[in-house]
Structure 1
Amino acid sequence: MKLKIDGKQNNPILPRAVEPLLADADAADLRVLVYAALRAADGEDFEAKDAAEALALTEGEVRSSVKFWRGAGLLGASRRPAADKAAAAEAAQPEAADAAAKTASDTGADKPLRDKRPMHLNSAELCRVAKENADFPALLHAAQQTAGWIFNESEIEIIAALYASLRLPGEFILSLIGYFVCKKEMPLRYVEKVAYDLCDKGITTPEALEEWLRRREERETNEGFVRRLFGLGQRALTEKEHAAVDSWFNLCGYGEDMVRAAYEKTVNTIGKASIAYASSILRAWHEAGYKTPADVEAAGQAKRAKPAAKGSGKQPQSFDTEDFFEKALRRSYGDTGDKS
């Protein structure tokens, strides 16, 4: 197989299409993608066995990740006959996958569902699913109407596996298709990947899915606001930045007004935007109990207007807590070297 990338002087350049998939790609998916990119840049074929050995993964994990990236249109089959033959031989070995799954079960290993997904359902098995599940034909029809096209055999297999193997409710499956295929314009293979990951997390009811989608939408809205505010352009947030932004809105409970106030204070203090610096400010405000920009402003005015003690014979204190706070932040910012 080959990776659909651009390259120059054997240096792989990942396409922009990777970015929207990063939030749902797990560590194995990312490792497989980078490995495939390096093999493509070197003009070499991608072999699941070699990838598993190089990445310390099982071949099942590699195949699962390959299906994920193939479904997103980033991995394609190699045009070389030898590679096609090898890929065909690999795809024709469901018995090996079943044996591996049985071994894991016998040893009590708690493997995630995404590694136990069926490799292939033949025509007889699809007919059996339809016969044993009276609601399946209606679900398949509704799924095609929701997606907006007539499914091919492999796409019908996906719906059958989600419904019959994972026992996901029809409403759950239709909601996933409506969100990711219609709204996000992702392939049906991506829906399959997300469904297995959600099952791993115990999210299997329409109500739980609705809450998960709500939180996902909220997170994307918040991160989009931060991206625009901090001038990040199309750059994906780092894992540390994801965690910081999530803490602003969820742990601290702040809205856009407080984030904007922290951004302005950051730029006014160090002369440029920095998520790390703004995060330090917001944590300090949260610990101080400030809930709105008005609270922050009122606290600042109170500190500036605080009169010196009279009749105590003591000199007015020159210690400025606001100044101390900013200097401490500058030291922390400089020491960590985090310029994001």
Structure 2
Amino acid sequence: MGRLTIYKDNYVDATAVSNIFIDEYMKDANDAQLKIYIYLIRMMNANLSCSLSDIADKFNHTEKDVMRALKYWEKNRLLSLEYDEARNLIGIHLLDLNRQINGDPMPAAPAAARAVKEPVSPDIDAVSEPASASEDKQLSEESYERPSYSLDQLKEFKSKEETSQLLFIVEQYIGKTLSPSEVRTIFFISDKLAFSVDLIDYLVQYCVERGKKDFRYIEKVAVSWAQSGITNPKDAEKYAYKYDKSVYDIMNALGKNTSPTSKEADYIRHWTKELDFDMDVIRVACERTVMGTDKHRFEYADTILKSWHNAGVHHLPDIAKEDEKFLRGKTSRTLPKSVSNNAFNQFKQHDYDFETLEKELLKIR
């Protein structure tokens, strides 16, 4: 997960909100915008880093909500957002409010901050888009306002057999009986967003698995999926998985600082879903890959993990056992009599032959 650098023109060792902000800006901002701006001040004054997902989790928003609030404050010249060449957000610059009152020009961000290139792992794709595209999507989202369903409409919706079963399933996920407002949210997702029963089932399960049972959050995720043209659980899984935190953890472990390509995402999905490896095991494979080669890293890691899977390795202790078995077999076959069997030689014999792996990989490419 990418960490965002937050900095400003002047620094004080306290979390204080400017009177200028209270007098001039607070009255026009909504709840999310206020919370996020004050939280940024808190994090900056404490010299703490954060990410879009950290802020979203803190206030039970989606990362798109956070990005929209940041753009609001940028438009009002209270902060500036910095991007790398791929339009990934890499920094937030909190501006001195006294400059705004005095009419001073907006200062340029320090070169060191502009040079930082850290990936942001969103659960939506609006973060890395040009501003014009984000604004178009914002206007699109405003058209997804929930209608004021009447009691008769709600009663008819609940009386359908398929709907009744769906509401029962949702209640099992949430762990309580749904309130009328929560039923209206499900009605809205089914009616106006045209989600199928299976897609609503997957949507609620997806949110609950991430610790989000708030229906405002569920509705926001549903809207973002609708905007992205998602119509079935399979598409939703691919869309959500692309921005899963574990994906970016693996990308970082392999020395990658960009969003995963489709092929890279397929590799990661294969390791985590099909081979069902623990993240700790995948990290070890990534560490050995990085130590052994600078190229074809996904192919190398895939070779290691497949060999472990075939050997029944699924947890960290299993790796040590497999390494010991590999070492014993290789040492008995290849260790010259003139070479002493000391600890150093044992360690060297333990490593993977990446040169041989690379030759094998090149044969099949």
* TM-score category, normalised to shorter length: 0.3 to 0.5
TM-score normalised by structure 1 residue count? 0.44
TM-score normalised by structure 2 residue count? 0.41
| Higher RCO structure (Cα 8 Å, ≥6 apart) | 2
Instruction: Point out the structure with the larger helix share.
Output: 1
